[in-house]
A and B are shown apart, each in its own frame.
Chain A
Amino acid sequence: MNLVNFKWEQDADGIVTLAWDTPGKSVNVLSMATVAELGQVADALTSDSAVKGLIITSAKAGSFSAGADLDEMAGFASQADKDAAKAAFETMMGIHRTFRKFEKCGKPVVAAINGTALGGGLELTLACHCRMIADDAKIRVGFPEAQVGLIPGGGGTQRLPRLIGAMAALPLMLEARRIDPSAAAGMGIVQKPLPAGELIAAAKAWIKANPGARAAWDDKEFRIPGGGPFSARGAQVFMVGNAMLRQRTYDNYPAQRFIMSAVYEGLLVDIDTALKIEARYFVRILMHPASRVMIRTLFHSMQELGKGARRPESEPRTDVKRLGVLGAGVMGSGIAYVSALAGIDVAMIDTTAEKAESGKDHIAKLLDREISRGRSTPDRKSEVLSRIHPAADFGALKDADLVIEAVFEDRKVKAEATAKTDAVTRQAAIFASNTSTLPITGLASASARRQNFIGIHFFSPVERMGLVEIIVGKETGKTALATAIDYAGKIRKTPIVVNDSRGFYTSRCFGTYTLEGLTMLAEGITPPLIENAGRMAGMPMGPLEVLDSVGVDTALKITRQTRKEVTKSQTPDADEQIMAWLVETSDRPGVKGGKGFYDYDNRGKRTRLWPGLFGYGKGQWHEAGVAELKQRLLMIQALEAARCFEEGVITDPRDADVGAILGWGFAPFTGGPISLIDTMGLAEFVKKCEALAAKHGERFRPNRLLREMAKTGETFYGRFAVEKAA
């Protein structure tokens, strides 16, 4: 036996403790090599009469296993041919054979889960006869596969429902929930949690007490907990479960549907037949373009950007220890909050001491909410609040490493704040604006140190949104960029880097979505159809609901400002007219006023579309095919992303895709707007755009870059991908 990933220790009673320790990684990964070694272990367990039982545990603190090696998985997927499918199927069946050996060897196998166990790692424990877990509240177990467009492939879709019933198993896998040890024990997945130090002893005791251990589902009298798909209760689980799946995902995510199917079809047969069914569904999802793009964007690209892939290599590491925030409003206090959470001292400045204090109060409320949800403690709250120093005096900024301006969206106000900051801060201090639309280069002209001026665009609510959009102005230097990216990493946000333009990348592209919705409304397409089309296309909200949530009045103001400064046109377009009618004529500003395109109840929850909308215009309303509406809503955003590439606003496809999904929830199943174009194929995308342009107008006309790439058959990731360091 040649074990590289495990250490085998046999005690005097013949009980083997197998300590998992993947070399060179901080977490244990279930690679093909690891599975092969597990096969050796299973064979040894079966054949060696001196071995009485096996305990599988981890040698790494805090990690039992993070699951399969996604790069290996992606390796199969990138081939996309029948041989690849066959190889993938054989690989999955090999995993099943090995795991079944543990179940059927006739000797007790116990998992001593002393760290987080996810995906394939958790699935290994499900193939053990008993699972014991440490009572460490930081441990999580769960199935993250669905998050990256995959399904559990190590038997989870078959063992979990046979262990705890389909009704409890399905949400865990479909929603990629991660639960702590006591929740896992409550669901019946593991035994009652024990102190970590007692796990091995307890496992040994269990082995001695259960010499002929067997999997429950290998017993002839085995009954699926809660009943199978055609029991009275089981029928409800699948009937309602299918509906809930459609409600949540609009059937845009094949992985979720394949999980439901694998469980449904698998529970109709015995475990071995069921594992074959799972393997086929796993291969199917692996070969599906959706999983490929989701793994790329939501796993690889996110990780790479989060680790600073866009950082100028030559720049030394920076560390923002002291932050200044200008403006204690919602954004300013949110920025101060997430920074204080990361251990940064924050001077929060506003025009008056009261305003600054109220920003700190807002942070205290956020912390109270976390405490009430059991996610924080009073000690942590005082620790975080102690780092926040509200002030009305710019002098408080003198030691700041970084100052973020989050004041009123007005050039003059921002220019004043910039100048006042420059007057007190150090030469090396970086100044960042949180503006969402005003070009950075223009704002930088108010600064004395333009190479240190940069944009860091946060998203609301700051504490929940994972993205920051870093905008490089014409004169922004590398140190400013490095500082911004390092700071983003410190506050646990994923940074994308874009070059200056009005609306930068995110506001500019997302704006096309809401504009297209208003255009449809102006055409007389009924509001429910527009909104449903947006949600069905995979966007988190319909375009009209988005406008309500940012404030139709805010959107109207920005539209007018753009018309004044950019197009310089005298006549408002259809979208501005609708918004003016809604806000000024009908007094419906959006969520904050309790009414906009929708009505909202007193908790801010939307109730229904305002029936008065049908009073707009000439009242000539009609319906349209929802497929084309969906296409318009997604394609227009993807087109804008492609235009950003042509103009050099975006230079790396990862920024475009990650930024779209994390920044405004662009249909995650597409992997992002650039992945959408690549998956469709440039030629097909251009063809569809031309058809839409012919029918709906020039805004759909594909730009030169797209037509060029369509001719040469390139992809964005092929042409613009950065060479990754070996």
Chain B
Amino acid sequence: MTDCFIFDAVRTPRGRGKKDGALHEVTALELATQSLAAIRDRNRLDTAELDDVIMGCVDPVGEQGADIARAAVLKAGFAETVPGMQINRFCASGLDACNMAAGHIMAGQADLAIGGGVEAMSRVQIGSSGGAWPEDPSIAIPAYFVPQGISADLIATIDGFSRDDVDSYAVESQKRAANAWAKGFFKRSIVPIRDTQGLPILDRDEHMRPDTTMQSLGALKPAFAEMGALGFDSVAIQRYPQVEALNHVHHAGNSSGIVDGAAAVLLGSEAQGRSLGLKPRAKVKAFASIGSEPAIMLTAPVEVTKKVLTRARMETKDIDLFEINEAFASVVLRYMRLMKLAPDKVNVNGGAIAMGHPLGATGAMLLSTALDELERRGLSTALITLCIGAGMGTATIIERV
């Protein structure tokens, strides 16, 4: 088997996912295009050497439809011979895209590829692509479908995380993100979005609220109590009948932010890197995906982490840094408790609660965040994982070289 290396990783700043977000005026295609162009320009890449461009996008409809990866490849002016593919494994799509590209390389069926993702949530709203699982009674009812916020509250209820627990995690995420931005920890990977005249449209994550406190979060009403009362609480309890009532603790301030953004990661074999003058930054050691119970939905990171560690013949203590997507605070709290991780190893520069979760791109963004921090601290290994809709999880282990 061939080793796969990461040569470069870029991500756009994340714009607020609303009409007044800075990136609302920018098409999803343009976000993806600028990420791809950045990879090419920073690495003086002969794009004809690329075997594939794989990008995650969770609502591939409207302007995000018709294989946005290939469209971005063409708009970025890549060689015509570069194919593109859009994939969807919900929230982990960006990481899965990198894993898929890495897999082709490790199998010797490709030498150089880009994995990444894009999601312009202010323009193509979450849920736009419909889907059978939440609506078709023949699956939604037997599978106890509930929206992910209910799942997050269910985790908090079963695991005993209080409103204070989840809120204090959120405050910490905001603090860490603000600190990282202030100290320029993300400088290497952030590629500002500019207009055709070069004027900057956005150069930093604008979702952050560094002044967040327990009091400011305490004022927010639980976001999922009403839909729970409509029927989803009963569905969750029918699946987990040891629960008497759901404790609704999540709200916009302790859940991932809805934002616009794109990311791209350059991967390849050692030989190809050498021939193109690319310096490898890290090796992709192992990756894995699993399915888990779909109603509680967000619990897979623990099991997929164990699976990927086994595959890499490693243990938890061999990992220096963990990036687990902050879909909801309870997801991370549960992960840390079950994996027995100290908070100073997990999401050390903040996460999606502070900076936002552009669905198709986040997985690739977490990869670059972890890599940047490994390099900054001179550490060796990182594990990146995300919980996924319909009960799935993906994880990747990287090792600095």
CB pair B135–A246 under 8 Å, yes or no, is no
Residues of A near B136 (CB, < 8 A) are: 238, 261, 264-265
Q: Does B134 contact A (CB under 8 A)?
A: yes
Q: Does B66 contact A (CB under 8 A)?
A: no
Residues of A near B142 (CB, < 8 A) are: 251
Chain A 235-269 interface 0/1 with B at a Cβ cutoff of 8 Å (1 = within): 10011111111110011000001001100110000
The listed residue with most A CB atoms (<10 A of its CB), out of B231, B241, B242, is B241
CB pair B231–A626 under 8 Å, yes or no, is no
Q: Does B85 contact A (CB under 8 A)?
A: no
CB pair A623–B231 under 8 Å, yes or no, is no
Of B232-240, B337-345, B366-374, the one contacting chain A is B232-240
Of A292-300, A427-435, A525-533, A573-581, the one contacting chain B is A525-533
Q: Does B276 contact A (CB under 8 A)?
A: no
- Which residues of A from 106 to 165 have beta carbons under 8 Å from B? none
Q: Which residue of B lies closest to A244 (CB)?
A: B231
- Which residues of B from 244 to 263 have beta carbons under 8 Å from A? 244-245
Q: How far is the CA of A242 from the CA of B137 in the complex (A)?
A: 6
CB pair A532–B241 under 8 Å, yes or no, is yes
CB distance from B108 to the nearest CB of A (A): 42
CB pair B241–A239 under 8 Å, yes or no, is no
Residue in contact with B141 in the complex, picked from A235, A240, A260, A623, CB distance below 8 Å: A260
CB pair B235–A243 under 8 Å, yes or no, is yes
Where chain B touches its partner, the secondary structure class is loop
Residue in contact with B231 in the complex, picked from A246, A528, A609, CB distance below 8 Å: A246
Q: Does B146 contact A (CB under 8 A)?
A: yes
Residues of B near A251 (CB, < 8 A) are: 141-142, 238
Q: How far is the CA of A611 from the CA of B227 in the complex (A)?
A: 26
Q: How far is the CA of A264 from the CA of B136 in the complex (A)?
A: 7
- Which residues of A from 186 to 230 have beta carbons under 8 Å from B? 229-230
Q: How far is the CA of A247 from the CA of B228 in the complex (A)?
A: 11
CB distance from A159 to the nearest CB of B (A): 19
CB pair B146–A243 under 8 Å, yes or no, is yes
CB pair B241–A243 under 8 Å, yes or no, is no
CB pair A239–B134 under 8 Å, yes or no, is yes
Q: Which residue of B lies closest to A629 (CB)?
A: B241
A246 touching B238 in the complex, CB below 8 Å, given contacts A235-B127, A239-B134, A257-B141: yes
Residues of A near B127 (CB, < 8 A) are: 235
A246 touching B234 in the complex, CB below 8 Å, given contacts A608-B245, A609-B244: yes
Residue in contact with A242 in the complex, picked from B145, B237, B238, B245, CB distance below 8 Å: B145
Q: How far is the CA of A609 from the CA of B138 in the complex (A)?
A: 33
Q: Does B243 contact A (CB under 8 A)?
A: yes
Residues of A near B241 (CB, < 8 A) are: 528-529, 532-533, 536, 626
Q: Does B140 contact A (CB under 8 A)?
A: yes
Q: How far is the CA of A251 from the CA of B137 in the complex (A)?
A: 11
Q: Which residue of B lies closest to A607 (CB)?
A: B245
CB pair B141–A528 under 8 Å, yes or no, is no
Chain B 215-241 interface 0/1 with A at a Cβ cutoff of 8 Å (1 = within): 000000000000100111011011001
CB distance from B66 to the nearest CB of A (A): 18
Chain A 625-642 interface 0/1 with B at a Cβ cutoff of 8 Å (1 = within): 010000000000000000
Q: How far is the CA of A247 from the CA of B238 in the complex (A)?
A: 9
Chain A 261-289 interface 0/1 with B at a Cβ cutoff of 8 Å (1 = within): 10011000000000000000000000000
Q: How far is the CA of A623 from the CA of B238 in the complex (A)?
A: 15
Residues of B near A230 (CB, < 8 A) are: 130, 135
Q: Which residue of B lies closest to A533 (CB)?
A: B241
Residues of B near A257 (CB, < 8 A) are: 137-138, 141
Q: Does B144 contact A (CB under 8 A)?
A: yes
CB pair B245–A246 under 8 Å, yes or no, is no
CB pair B137–A264 under 8 Å, yes or no, is yes
Residues of B near A247 (CB, < 8 A) are: 231, 234-235
CB pair A244–B230 under 8 Å, yes or no, is yes
Residues of B near A609 (CB, < 8 A) are: 244
Q: Which residue of A lies closest to B140 (CB)?
A: A242
CB pair B234–A264 under 8 Å, yes or no, is no
Q: How far is the CA of A623 from the CA of B240 in the complex (A)?
A: 11
Q: Which residue of B lies closest to A528 (CB)?
A: B244
Q: How far is the CA of A238 from the CA of B130 in the complex (A)?
A: 12
CB pair A239–B244 under 8 Å, yes or no, is no
CB pair B137–A261 under 8 Å, yes or no, is yes
Chain B 111-135 interface 0/1 with A at a Cβ cutoff of 8 Å (1 = within): 0000000000000000100100011
CB pair A245–B137 under 8 Å, yes or no, is yes
Residues of B near A261 (CB, < 8 A) are: 136-138
Residue in contact with A235 in the complex, picked from B135, B144, B146, CB distance below 8 Å: B135
A260 touching B235 in the complex, CB below 8 Å, given contacts A246-B144, A529-B241: no
Q: How far is the CA of A609 from the CA of B243 in the complex (A)?
A: 11
Q: How far is the CA of A242 from the CA of B127 in the complex (A)?
A: 17
Q: How far is the CA of A529 from the CA of B237 in the complex (A)?
A: 10
Residues of B near A260 (CB, < 8 A) are: 137, 141
Chain A 523-558 interface 0/1 with B at a Cβ cutoff of 8 Å (1 = within): 000111101110010000000000000000000000
CB pair B244–A229 under 8 Å, yes or no, is no
Residues of B near A265 (CB, < 8 A) are: 136
Residues of B near A235 (CB, < 8 A) are: 127, 130, 134-135
Residues of B near A229 (CB, < 8 A) are: 135
Residues of A near B147 (CB, < 8 A) are: 239
Q: How far is the CA of A241 from the CA of B136 in the complex (A)?
A: 10
Q: Which residue of B lies closest to A609 (CB)?
A: B244
Q: How far is the CA of A529 from the CA of B244 in the complex (A)?
A: 8
A608 touching B244 in the complex, CB below 8 Å, given contacts A242-B141, A264-B136: yes
Residues of A near B227 (CB, < 8 A) are: 240
CB pair B238–A245 under 8 Å, yes or no, is no
Residues of A near B137 (CB, < 8 A) are: 238, 241-242, 245, 257, 260-261, 264
Residues of A near B242 (CB, < 8 A) are: 526, 528-529, 532, 623
A240 touching B230 in the complex, CB below 8 Å, given contacts A230-B130, A246-B235: yes
Residues of A near B230 (CB, < 8 A) are: 240, 243-244
Residues of A near B237 (CB, < 8 A) are: 532
CB pair A536–B238 under 8 Å, yes or no, is yes
Q: How far is the CA of A243 from the CA of B137 in the complex (A)?
A: 9
Q: Which residue of A lies closest to B227 (CB)?
A: A240
Residues of A near B234 (CB, < 8 A) are: 243, 246-247
Q: Which residue of B lies closest to A238 (CB)?
A: B135
- Which residues of A from 582 to 628 have beta carbons under 8 Å from B? 608-609, 623, 626
Residues of A near B243 (CB, < 8 A) are: 528
Q: How far is the CA of A285 from the CA of B54 in the complex (A)?
A: 46
Q: Which residue of B lies closest to A251 (CB)?
A: B141
Residues of A near B140 (CB, < 8 A) are: 238-239, 242
CB distance from A513 to the nearest CB of B (A): 17
CB distance from B351 to the nearest CB of A (A): 28
Residues of B near A244 (CB, < 8 A) are: 230-231
CB distance from B161 to the nearest CB of A (A): 18
Q: Which 3 A-B pairs have the closest CB atoms?
A: A243-B231, A532-B241, A247-B234
Can you list 10 contacts pairing A with B, beta carbon distance less than 8 Å? A230-B135, A240-B230, A240-B231, A246-B235, A251-B142, A528-B241, A531-B244, A532-B237, A533-B241, A608-B245
**Partner-B contacts on A (CB < 8 A):** 229-230, 235, 238-247, 250-251, 257, 260-261, 264-265, 526-529, 531-533, 536, 608-609, 623, 626
